[in-house]
Chains A and B, each alone.
Chain A
Amino acid sequence: EDAAEESNVSAELIAHRKRLVDEWNAWRARCKEEVAEELGVGQEPSGRQEEERE
């Protein structure tokens, strides 16, 4: 029973962490678009370089 509870807790924790990672990655993706936009649409190649450098 304890083991079942433990695995249940860790499943919750894993789900929580997955949510945090998904939120972060979604925010980073939005950010990268905004950075590319700020650098200028005409300068898209440099925007790409920017991402590669990371």
Chain B
Amino acid sequence: MRPTDRTAGHERSLTQIKFNKEGDLIFTASKDSIVNVWFSHNGERLGTYEGHNGAVWTLDVDSQSHFLVTGSADNEMRLWSVQTGKCLFVWEFPTAVKRVAFSEDDAEIVCITEQRMGYQGAIRVFRLNRDGDGTQQNTEPQSMFHPVGSKATVCAFPYMSGLILTGHESGKVALFDAKSGDEVLSNERAHMDVVTDLQLSPDRSYFLTSSKDKTARLHDAKTLTVLKTFSTETPLNSAALAPNMPYVLLGGGQEAMNVTTTSLRQGKFETRFWHKIFEEEVGRVKGHFGPLNTIAAHPSGTGYASGGEDGFVRVHHYDDSYFRAKPYGDVEILN
């Protein structure tokens, strides 16, 4: 593997990383309240999106690399022009914004706001006005609901229209009717602890979750059936699907204060590669000085980026041996 680009540009831990659809840009959110955009090929910083007044918990970029949406501890969700770095619109809420995600057609945004001080956790779906310069947005969501029971930590739009996919603090994954807010389907035992990340397959028909229960799991988006389980020995914060190769990339680690009481291996802060079908670990890449908080795979499958508690973003480019390696022989596996 080619030496990785390690980028400095955040003063505090990373919270979420996303590639744009082409894979030439990487967007990073951090607790330092700054959002950065980087060139993926060399790790050079292209620009920043400044305006939030609190930890930025989450971000997503649309498929046209036109709009960026961010959510923060300052109770705001912001819409930005990717190209100019200008903030186009600010939505304000009573509590922090923990997760945002675009729909496949870029027309809608789903967001989770935190449950706190008399406010229920809420999921809102906004219809985005893509006409004009993006500054004319409706302050009101087209729908809003409060999941009963365990609070939602992650959300996304599956391929089934009208439904919102969620992961919860209890370890549950669920499908909600976006309009009525009814829970349509749930798997209460998808995980045994907090669901920390949820990433969809390219066609949005299956998804990968990571959890503090030390496992990552692959689920059928329509039935919420668990298809595969990847069991590690450390709490997981993020999990990404490798495009074109049958691997999943897992990241996590114990907080520094706990490292001495647990095995040394947990202090290495590696990205773990597991075979998606055989549920076996195939490799590890070291890199971070603290737990990995977020992993994103390059959409063309040429590398990945990881963001750590250490404040670093690492961009990894696979070398030829990665693509040649067929640890389980020459089998065709549909993506």
* A contacts, CB < 8 Å to B: 14, 17-18, 20-21, 24-25, 27-29, 31-32, 34-35, 38-39, 50-51, 53-54
Instruction: Contact check, B333 vs A24: say whether CB atoms are below 8 A apart.
Output: yes
Q: Count residues of chain B with CB under 8 A from any CB of chain A.
A: 21
* B contacts, CB < 8 Å to A: 159-161, 202-206, 220, 222, 227, 243, 277-278, 328-329, 331-335
Given contacts A17-B328, A24-B277, contact A34 B333 (CB under 8 A): no
Given contacts A50-B203, A54-B203, 10 further A-B contacts (CB under 8 A): A17-B277, A17-B278, A17-B329, A17-B331, A21-B331, A24-B277, A25-B334, A27-B227, A31-B206, A51-B203
Nearest 8 interchain pairs by C-beta: A28-B334, A31-B205, A54-B335, A25-B334, A54-B202, A21-B331, A24-B277, A35-B159
For residue A29, which residues in chain B have a CB less than 8 angstroms away from its CB? 334
Least CB distance from A19 to B in Å reads 10
Instruction: Contact check, B202 vs A53: say whether CB atoms are below 8 A apart.
Output: yes
Counting chain B CB atoms within 10 Å of each CB, which of A18, A24, A50, A54 scores highest? A24
Chain A: interface secondary structure? helix
Given contacts A17-B328, A24-B277, contact A34 B334 (CB under 8 A): no
For residue A18, which residues in chain B have a CB less than 8 angstroms away from its CB? 331
